[in-house]
């Protein structure tokens, strides 16, 4: 049965997508996980994965043309299949074709096994209902958690109604409905996770046979599983101890989504057999993948004895009461991204002491006339932005085969929230006043605590700042917020005793900062020069106002 591929919502501000490039053409055989096209959104150019096996029967737009979100993008089905009714959005023309479907079953039954004959019987053209799938709400999202269902089964819904709140790896966002009708089915309960493109609900006419949609969805994987079984005798080796197909450079072929899932699950892609085009690993391969290391001890009798001993060691008995907490999407992302940054980017750290006496005096004077109360954190953001302007090599990213230096300065400001950490971005910070920076940071902090930050608020940083001074921390070593090359850790201001040139003791206020640098793109002397400029600006803060 032909299936419509619609333009997905690839960002929270996206209203349409432009076809940057078609990677498949009409008539090509496609499988779930194949990349159909590259789609240019309002934020980035992203790959569009196919999620139905068959032949590409129709494309709705040529390269360079735009399609509205949820508009028909393509149709995938069987060769020669009539898909026109799907484009017209009506099911009436298919009603007359129902007897023909019955007549076609007879010749198919003897030629194919019984399970295969059952699948063509699912005629979705007569089902007046539409599946609502988990959309891709951010560029790093692989699954979403249903935080709350706003509608329940049986409710009347219209296009634009909010069906649910979805927790992604970056924020909690509202899921809009795009079909008029009745909410017939909810496939994921509140608190449970759903993979991107997984069916989470069905909307349609009351009494519509929505089970047919679910049956068709579950049946997509069946042919893929049956084909390898019917393949030549070499296929059992692949299913038992398969290995991914690598290209000439030794890289394993896998879709971006598959790579992300493999990282989250700790799966070695070289152990997975790809069922996509040219052996490419796709999402379904990881969903069905079962690690095989346990089979090796079973093969030899002597090795079977240690196996029971390993189990108690892996899960030690608790010494007292404990609580296992589920890991939120945000915490999963923090764990994955910080681990990638720490183990991929060679960090080095530069620490410097800064005298804050003049900054303290100026802050007191400014807060008497400023429209918004200015904090020392606002001073550090402004000073860092101006220092970056003088040291553009620090305002950069390592991209593997090139270093990208940005001609704009966007400062990411780490904000602690209940579930972890978010980094909203103050854009063009070098061009903004201290009062404007203060207002923006306070607004972001409020949104973060209320879970109202949008992905666009946290994208595009070129440099980051993490301030733990308000917690009494004097200094710490931060982890770089990739793809930035540097992050500045700011400690608290501490009153101490210093000695002047005449040998006299006097009280002063010292603040320690630590700059973490990615040594691939920033050298020690470059980072040190940046810190010297940063120090000069804070020790003589009037320079930031002129």
Q: How long a stretch of residues is the chain?
A: 546
Q: Can you tell me which residue has the tokens 């700011």?
A: 490
Cβ atoms 486, 463 nearer than 8 A: yes
Cβ atoms 387, 538 nearer than 8 A: no
Choosing from 28, 123, 443, 519, the catalytic residue is 519
Helix (H, G, I), strand (E, B) or coil at 393: coil
Is 347 known to be catalytic?
no
How big is the chain by its Cα radius of gyration, in Å? 29
Residue 396 CA to residue 477 CA, distance in Å, equals 20
Q: Can you tell me which residue has the tokens 């290995």?
A: 243
Is 285 known to be catalytic?
no
Residue 5 CA to residue 34 CA, distance in Å, equals 13
Cβ atoms 176, 198 nearer than 8 A: no
Choosing from 247, 287, 523, 540, the catalytic residue is 523
Beta bridge mates, 166: 146, 173
Cβ atoms 128, 207 nearer than 8 A: no
Residue 295 CA to residue 321 CA, distance in Å, equals 35
Residue 101 CA to residue 99 CA, distance in Å, equals 5
- Cis peptide upstream of residue 247 (ω within 30 degrees of 0): no
Q: 427, exposed or middle or buried, with CB in 10 Å at 0-12, 13-18, 19+?
A: middle
Cβ atoms 379, 465 nearer than 8 A: no
| The 29-30 sheet, strands edge to edge | 3-6, 72-77, 54-59, 29-30
Cβ atoms 171, 186 nearer than 8 A: no
Q: Which of 429, 334, 329 is nearest to 388 (CA)?
A: 429
Residue 46 CA to residue 372 CA, distance in Å, equals 40
Beta bridge mates, 517: 348, 486
Active site residues: 519, 523
């Amino acid at each position: 049965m032909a299936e419509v591929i619609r333009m997905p919502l690839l960002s929270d501000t996206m209203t349409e997508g432009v076809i940057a490039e078609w990677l498949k053409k009409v008539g090509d055989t496609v499988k779930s996980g194949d990349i159909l096209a590259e789609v240019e959104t309002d934020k980035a150019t992203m790959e569009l994965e196919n999620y139905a096996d068959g032949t590409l029967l129709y494309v709705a737009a040529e390269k360079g043309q735009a399609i509205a979100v949820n508009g028909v993008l393509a149709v995938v089905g069987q060769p020669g299949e009539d898909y026109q009714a799907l484009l017209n959005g009506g099911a009436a023309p298919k009603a007359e074709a129902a007897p023909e479907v019955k007549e076609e079953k007879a010749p198919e039954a003897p030629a194919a096994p019984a399970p295969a004959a059952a699948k063509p019987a699912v005629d979705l053209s007569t089902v007046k209902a539409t599946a609502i799938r988990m959309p891709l709400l951010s560029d790093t999202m692989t699954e979403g958690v249903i935080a709350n269902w706003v509608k329940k089964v049986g409710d009347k819904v219209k296009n634009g109604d909010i069906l649910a709140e979805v927790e992604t790896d970056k924020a909690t966002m509202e899921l809009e409905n795009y079909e008029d009708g009745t909410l017939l089915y909810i496939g994921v309960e509140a608190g449970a996770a759903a993979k991107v493109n997984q069916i989470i609900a069905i909307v349609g006419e009351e009494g519509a046979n929505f089970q047919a949609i679910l049956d068709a969805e579950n049946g997509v994987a069946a042919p893929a599983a049956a084909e390898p079984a019917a393949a030549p005798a070499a296929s059992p080796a692949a299913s038992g101890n398969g290995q991914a197909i690598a290209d000439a450079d030794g890289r394993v072929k896998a879709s971006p989504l598959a790579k992300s899932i493999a990282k989250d699950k700790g799966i070695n892609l070289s152990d997975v057999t790809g069922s996509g085009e040219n052996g490419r690993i796709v999402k379904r391969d990881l969903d069905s993948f079962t690690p095989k290391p346990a089979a090796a001890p079973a093969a030899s009798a002597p090795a079977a004895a240690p196996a029971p001993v390993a189990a108690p060691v892996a899960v030690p008995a608790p010494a007292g009461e404990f609580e296992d907490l589920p890991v939120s999407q945000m915490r999963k992302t923090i764990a994955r991204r910080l681990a990638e940054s720490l183990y991929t980017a060679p960090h080095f750290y530069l620490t410097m002491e800064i005298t804050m006496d003049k900054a303290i005096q100026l802050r007191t004077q400014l807060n008497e006339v400023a429209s918004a109360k200015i904090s020392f954190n606002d001073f550090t953001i402004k000073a860092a932005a101006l220092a970056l302007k003088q040291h553009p090599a620090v305002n950069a990213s390592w991209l593997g085969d090139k270093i990208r230096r940005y001609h704009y300065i966007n400062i990411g400001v780490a904000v602690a929230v209940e579930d972890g950490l978010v980094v909203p971005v103050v854009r063009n910070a070098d061009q903004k006043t201290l009062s404007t920076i203060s207002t923006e940071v306070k607004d972001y902090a409020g949104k973060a605590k209320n879970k109202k930050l949008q992905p666009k608020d946290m994208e595009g940083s070129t440099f980051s700042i993490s301030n733990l001074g308000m917690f009494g921390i004097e200094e710490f070593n931060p982890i770089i917020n990739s793809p930035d090359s540097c992050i500045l850790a700011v400690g608290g201001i501490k009153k101490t005793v210093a000695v002047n040139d005449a040998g006299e003791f006097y009280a002063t206020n010292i603040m320690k900062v630590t700059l973490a640098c990615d040594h691939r793109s920033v050298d020690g002397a470059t980072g040190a020069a940046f810190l010297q400029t940063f120090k000069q600006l804070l020790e003589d803060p009037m320079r930031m106002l002129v």
